Structure 1
């Protein structure tokens, strides 16, 4: 069965507006999940405009809602040490009463100047793609162990080194929140095949998304995993002026095997936008 959610990128918008949309969506059964992104500076619009930090905002919205599954599409693995991120995610899952979907990716593309500048502006290293992908695989291994291991452990990886690592409390969801990995690069898809419960890709080029999904199938078979075990998720922008275009994009993606739809809402958010999306896009589709 398909599932539908919304995404409110927390840039060029204030907390009150985002909270309004999420609380409205929380009362609409057709909207099953809601998402933020993970950037520290705007990647569109006024480059000096406001941006709220994703995990902090997610925790606040978890406390303001009761039904929606929620997450970041997607966390940058470059921003936070994985053991710290595991603790943050556990805390949000506890606040949400077990509603977190843990979205993560390697981080921003090196060729995206508006995204890359946030690393230098916050004193964060920006390693090459191969380093970032290998680091993501180790991070997911460590995070899952912190969610599940009942005794402290050491970890001596190439990118992550921990001594006496231990997570307490554990997430509400056991063995942990579902893991969604976002990305399209071949190396990232190998990480998806090994670690993810859901895979997300932007829907701007559906032919490419279909090719990447087939590649993911191949990587799963190579390691003996059933490709059907990974839910295929796609992000589609919502057109307020032409909702029919969004409905057509949903239909095409569904025909291509995608079942998890994240509908991107652009700020400023019109009054009643969640109800409008449910009526004009989700129900109509």
Structure 2
């Protein structure tokens, strides 16, 4: 992804408590509005808000469907839980989606929700997924990023024997459309995750809210980059900001704060249900209105 001084804006439609056609309607509308440059889903297997037994779609399956029915938007999952899918399988899934959309994938990945969080914890129990401590999660994420990049770029099968990931004859064909590979966005705020981002990320995303904490975390990422000899400016800073349809003013203020703090990739989280014309509303009330 080219680095530019002007901010790019995108939307996030968390696929919970909504129907497929609701999400598709919003993405198709956004795809026709140039000011909205990217669109995102989240990666939860059960709702984390609203009724606990409500609908929640599997993120990558839904992303593939939306990739086939949009033409311009960059798209991704903000962020994929590295706890849910074996990394080599995830590399194959992502390469498939990048092919479907003609090279518009931004590959978002993170350590995965804390299993100690009650709403997140039940996802693991309900799907027979193991959960591990934070140190295991961060180490696994670093190995996953290494393996995924190699699968996307290496022309010959390889073996990998890490602490957490073991592969024999690993190979990915077809490769992603994007060369050398889709941009890697790493999401999270913990120090171990930021160390992984310093090494592997093209973009780093953090949830907004406490701008002072966001700024401190961005400075820590700068420090980790310096420690390994990487230019901190080579990692685009991304932030997720929740939207209120009734009170756009605070969202506009949060956007201004984030841009002032050096964040150039703004993801606007849209609550459901989605009003008619919500993408146009976002453009008029939150994006172009900043310049008025």
Scaled by the length of structure 2, the TM-score of the pair is: 0.97
Alignment-derived partner of residue 44 in structure 1: 49
Instruction: Work out which of the residue numbers 210, 218, 223 in structure 1 matches 2:223.
Output: 218
Instruction: Give, in whole Å, the separation in 1 of the partners of 2:270 and 2:225.
Output: 32
Q: CA deviation at 1:244?
A: 1.1
Instruction: Give, in whole Å, the separation in 2 of the partners of 1:52 and 1:135.
Output: 25
Q: Does residue 1:242 correspond to 2:247, yes or no? A: yes
Alignment-derived partner of residue 202 in structure 1: 207
Q: Does residue 1:271 correspond to 2:266, yes or no? A: no
Alignment-derived partner of residue 138 in structure 2: 133
SS at match of 1:232: strand
Alignment-derived partner of residue 160 in structure 1: 165
Q: CA deviation at 1:111?
A: 3.1
Alignment-derived partner of residue 180 in structure 2: 175
Alignment-derived partner of residue 3 in structure 2: none
Q: RMSD across aligned C-alpha pairs, in angstroms?
A: 0.5
Instruction: Give, in whole Å, the separation in 2 of the partners of 1:225 and 1:188.
Output: 16
Structure 2: gaps (5+ residues): 1-5
Alignment-derived partner of residue 189 in structure 2: 184
Q: CA deviation at 1:96?
A: 0.5
Alignment-derived partner of residue 91 in structure 1: 96
Query: How many residue pairs end up in the alignment?
Result: 285
SS at match of 2:109: strand
Q: Does residue 1:71 correspond to 2:82, yes or no? A: no
Scaled by the length of structure 1, the TM-score of the pair is: 0.99
Q: Which runs of 4+ in 1 moved over 2 A?
A: none
Alignment-derived partner of residue 118 in structure 1: 123
Instruction: Give, in whole Å, the separation in 2 of the partners of 1:232 and 1:112.
Output: 26
Q: CA deviation at 1:60?
A: 0.1
Instruction: Give, in whole Å, the separation in 1 of the partners of 2:65 and 2:11.
Output: 17
Instruction: Give, in whole Å, the separation in 2 of the partners of 1:91 and 1:76.
Output: 18
SS at match of 1:118: helix
